[in-house]
Amino acid sequence: MDALETILNHRSIRKFRPDPISDEMLNTILEAASRASTTGNMQVYSIIVSRDQSIKEALLPLHFGQKMVTEAPVVLTFCADFNRFNLWCHQRDADPGYDNFLSFMTAAIDALLAAQNACIAAESFGLGICYLGTTTYLAEPIAKVLKLPLGVVPVTTVVLGWPDQEVPLTDRLPMRAVVHQEVYQNFSAEEIDEIYSERENSALTKRLLEENGLDNLAKVFVEKRYTKRDNVQFSGTLLNFLKHQQFFNQ
Ligand SMILES: Cc1cc2nc3c(=O)[nH]c(=O)nc-3n(C[C@H](O)[C@H](O)[C@H](O)COP(=O)(O)O)c2cc1C
């Protein structure tokens, strides 16, 4: 598949066949990740490759029991990483000033760009991928399992393997919801209604409302899927971990 076709056909895959991914294919995917742009070409990220079942089993509860963690042959944890760069600076008598939030953002951006390159490369081979947002909820225990040193924080996880399901393309909001020409055009109430109407009237939404006993889709997000309580709690633990990992000293 060419790159554009791969990108336009993306769908998250959550069920995998047990077949392994060859070393050659995995290495190409990792190399594609490393070809992503990074800030100043510093490459301030790391990719932890988990194929060992015992490590994946240790990660499973930290990803809230999402079975694809142990079912997929490969789990990749993408980390913001200033550790290696700092070690190099110290070894060269250069004094790094990267123990701050901006540096965390820099490293997290590098890690996410590498992750998306890996996903596109994997999908171009016919593999399926799914991101796991649970990485930022339980970053500290995940870091423990993966033995991440100071200066390294996991920012996202991608499971990959051979798809064992066929899933339709998921919907997207109309382009005018996300693209603004020249400057941001804020939305009127009518425009918000219009932008969300197709999604709100879909069969999937109807099912979600029935399952959750709620009267609109926004409430499914706010009251069930991404609650304030969870966000405040995980935000606090993530901030504490960023401090511990020395991204908040200055
Ligand atoms: C940062 C991030 C975190 C995600 N976390 C999860 C997750 O924990 N579990 C899951 O099943 N899907 C997860 N997803 C997949 C999204 O649910 C999915 O991308 C979205 O519903 C759109 O569907 P599509 O990828 O098939 O187009 C995540 C996606 C992203 C980008």
Per residue in 181-214, pLDDT (tens digit) is 999 999 999 999 999 999 999 999 999 999 999 9
**In testing the pocket of ligand 1, which one of 12, 59, 135 has its CB within 8 Å of the most ligand atoms?**
12
Stated pTM of the model: 0.97
Model pLDDT, residue 76: 99
CA of 99 to the centre of ligand 1 (A): 30
Among protein residues, the one whose CA lies closest to atom 28 of ligand 1: 131
| pLDDT for 249 | 84
Taking CA atoms only, the protein residue closest to ligand 1 atom 8 is 132
Distance CA 31, CA 40 (A): 18
Which residues have any ligand 1 atom within 6 Å of their CB? Answer: 10-12, 14, 66, 130-134, 156, 170
- In contact, 142 and 77? CB cutoff 8 Å: yes
pLDDT average, residue stretch 36-62: 98
Helix%, strand%, coil% for the chain, nearest 5:
55, 10, 35
Q: What is the pLDDT of residue 26?
A: 98
71-95 residue pLDDT tens: 999 999 999 999 999 999 999 999 9
How many angstroms separate the alpha carbon of residue 13 from the centre of ligand 1?
9
What is the pLDDT averaged over residues 143-168? 98
| Cβ density class 15-33: b for 16+ within 10 Å, e for less | bbeeeebeeebbebbbebb
> Mean per-residue pLDDT for 142-162?
98
How high is the pLDDT of residue 40? 98
Ligand 1, pocket-test mutation among 7, 69, 130, 172, most atoms within 8 A of CB: 130
List the residue whose alpha carbon is closest to atom 1 of ligand 1. Answer: 133
CA distance 122 to 115: 10
Q: How far is CA 57 from CA 62, 152, 189, in A?
A: 9, 22, 47
Residue nearest to atom 3 of ligand 1 (CA): 133
pLDDT at 60: 98
User: Tens of pLDDT along 102-111?
Assistant: 999 999 999 9
Mean of the pLDDT values across residues 216-240? 97
At 50 the pLDDT is 98
C-beta separation of 44 from 113 below 8 A = no
Q: For residue 47, which of 75, 73, 86 has the smallest C-alpha distance?
A: 75
Q: The tokens of 250 are what?
A: 């200055």
Average pLDDT, stretch 35-61? Answer: 98
Q: Which two tokens stand for residue 222?
A: 């706010």
Query: CA torsion, points 20, 75, 12, 207, in degrees to nearest 10?
Result: 110
What does the alpha-carbon distance between residue 117 and residue 94 come to, in Å, rounded to a whole number? 31
Quick one: pLDDT at residue 250?
A: 75
Question: Stretch 136-152: mean pLDDT, rounded?
Answer: 98
Cα dist from 177 to 37, 102, 232, whole Å: 27, 29, 27
Measured between alpha carbons, how far is residue 100 from residues 105, 106, 180, 242 in Å? 9, 10, 32, 9
What spacing in Å lies between the alpha carbon of 94 and ligand 1's midpoint?
40
Please give the pLDDT value at position 220. Answer: 97
- Nearest atom within ligand 1 for CA of residue 170: 27
Closest Cα partner for 173 from 217, 220, 120, 225?
Answer: 217
* Rounded Cα distance, 107 and 169, in Å: 31
Q: What stretch of H or E contains 146? A: none
- Rounded-to-integer distance, Cα 241 and Cα 73, Å: 29
- Reported as a pLDDT band with limits 50, 70 and 90, residue 1 is low
The DSSP 8-state label assigned to residue 75 in this structure reads E
Mean per-residue pLDDT over the chain, rounded: 97
Measured in Å, residue 69 CA sits from the centre of ligand 1 at 14
